[in-house]
Amino acid sequence: MTESTPSYLAGHLAPVADEIEAVDLQVEGALPTELTGRYFRNGPNPVPGEDSGHWFTGHGMLHGVRLNQGRAEWYRNRWVRTKAMDGVPFHRPDGTVDLAAGAANTSVVKHGGKVFALMETSYPYEISRELDTLGPCDFNGRLTTGMTAHPKEDPETGELHLFDYGMRPPFLTYHRLSAAGELVASFPVQVAGPTMMHDFAITRNHVVWLDLPVVFDMELVGRGMPYQWSDKYTSRIGLMGKDDPTVRWFDVEPCYVFHVGNAREDEQGRVVLDAIRYSRDAWFQSWSRSGGAPRAEQAAALAVSKLHRWILDPATGKVTEQELDDGNAEFPTVDDRRVGLPNRYLYAVDSAAIIKYDTDRGQVARHELGENWHAGEAVFVPAADSSGEDEGWLLSIVTNSDPTVASQLLVHDATDLAAKPVASVLLPRRVPAGFHGSWIPDGELAR
């Protein structure tokens, strides 16, 4: 690394150069014996000597830890072997795209007994329980667009809701998978233009769309991520029935959202959406650090992304907004059993802390990691026979800025986040800070 090395290739983001595996990992503390399964986490990791031009576009690499009855049996990391890894370009010379040539670098999810590595705007890649790449998936030819990296599984029906956005009409397409993994619904949704819609939400009766002012910019093609903030594009949130492409739009204050915490319907039939909100300044600062085109003028003070709430009232057409916390936060998560349903707790991370929000009481708990440590997304795993919403464990890979310091998988008791972790799995290498992960219990994967 040199002084000219981009920030997204240095420090805690610096990629690793190879694939390794290790067995019988050292554990400090005591792993809960009920945590028997696999923790997989995805993130960008360019091959040695490659500069992808933006943090978001490096080849996907999965890191996995196998836990079994109080033991950490193995760690391994594997690149997702996409067509892009073989040098196949996403954009063809005729202007079309190769949907199997995405980087598959953003998230890893399970559905219908299978595991998929995801990156928006391209096909999902199926992954084995041992992190081998099985190949791109188009759900028996029915998926003809890309697939978001943030699908939402309805805990009541088992259906998986997903979408694709693009630079050409239709700019937004909605899809739904059955609980068994069959693509059963697809239709276009009208939005104002080529917005970069990274995430969305569902409730019991609605799909919640985020039509926000970060849009495709042809002048930036070939320069990493070709998206930029547009002051001319209106910020709005939409409510759509799950089988009806008609959307009820609500104008909101200009902002951007990368990640949703949760959405639900209250007793009055209003939709309550909690997400991490970026002001214009906060978006530009984050985007430039990640490799995006910087704005000419800089904000006078550091702007941060914050947990925010929108309440959308279909009966009156009114929307109210509220900042839930003034501290920096990203990568919000919720108990998967509460997706689209009323929830009290959300979890998130700051650069060096794991955060728990009690949204009913307006309380915030933090676990500070210490100097030079960086928190990865905290995934909630419910405890066996849990009765309280926060009874369970938070799993997070933490990374040190020092490249000689190995990473750890921390396991926290979610009811007492401020306390020390109940267990720390010492990993055999530094794991670059990445994006999103999943806990996959034994019994939820087809062999």
Boundaries of every domain in the chain: 7-441
Percent of the chain with pLDDT over 90: 88
Q: Taking residues 15-30, what's their average pLDDT?
A: 98
- Residue-level length of the chain: 447
**pLDDT at position 8 over 60:** yes
What is the spatial distance between Cα 41 and Cα 291, in angstroms, rounded to a whole number? 22
What is the per-residue pLDDT for 218? 87
CA-based nearest residue to 23, from 62, 68, 76, 69: 76
Q: Taking residues 391-414, what's their average pLDDT?
A: 97
Binding residues for Fe cation: 150, 198, 259, 436
What is the per-residue pLDDT for 205? 97
What is the per-residue pLDDT for 292? 80
What is the per-residue pLDDT for 445? 78
Among 96-100, 338-342, 421-425, whose mean pLDDT is lowest? 96-100
Q: Taking residues 255-277, what's their average pLDDT?
A: 98
**pLDDT at position 447 over 90:** no
Q: Taking residues 79-106, what's their average pLDDT?
A: 94
What is the band of 123 on the pLDDT scale with cuts at 50, 70, 90? very high
Q: Taking residues 427-432, what's their average pLDDT?
A: 98
DSSP-derived pairing of the beta strands 408-413 and 318-323: unpaired
Q: Taking residues 242-257, what's their average pLDDT?
A: 96
What's the CATH class of domain 7-441? mainly beta
What is the per-residue pLDDT for 300? 45
What is the per-residue pLDDT for 1? 54
Cis amide prior to 188 (ω within 30 degrees): no
Report CA torsion sign: 166, 167, 168, 171: positive
Q: What are phi and psi of 157, to 5 degrees?
A: -105, -20
Q: How far apart are the first and last CA of the chain?
A: 42
What is the per-residue pLDDT for 2? 54
Among 9-13, 260-264, 298-302, 323-327, whose mean pLDDT is lowest? 298-302
What is the band of 289 on the pLDDT scale with cuts at 50, 70, 90? confident
What is the band of 299 on the pLDDT scale with cuts at 50, 70, 90? very low
**pLDDT at position 415 over 90:** yes
What is the per-residue pLDDT for 89? 92
Binding residues: 150, 198, 259, 436
